[in-house]
Amino acid sequence: MALSELNNITSQIFRNVNIQTTSISEILILTGIIIASIIIFAAFVYGMFKLAKALPSMSVKNFIILMLIIGVGLIIIGILIP
HSE at residue 11, side-chain half, CA atoms within 13 A, is: 6
Domain count across the chain = 1
CA distance linking residue 58 with residue 68, whole number of Å: 14
pTM over 0.75: no
Q: Domain residues for 56?
A: 2-80
Q: What is the pLDDT of residues 11-69, one digit of tens each?
A: 776 666 555 656 777 778 888 888 999 999 999 999 989 988 888 888 999 889 989 99
Q: Are 26 and 9 in contact (CB under 8 A)?
A: yes
Coil/strand/helix, residue 9: helix
**Which segments within the chain are labelled E, that is strand?**
none
Q: Are 43 and 67 in contact (CB under 8 A)?
A: no
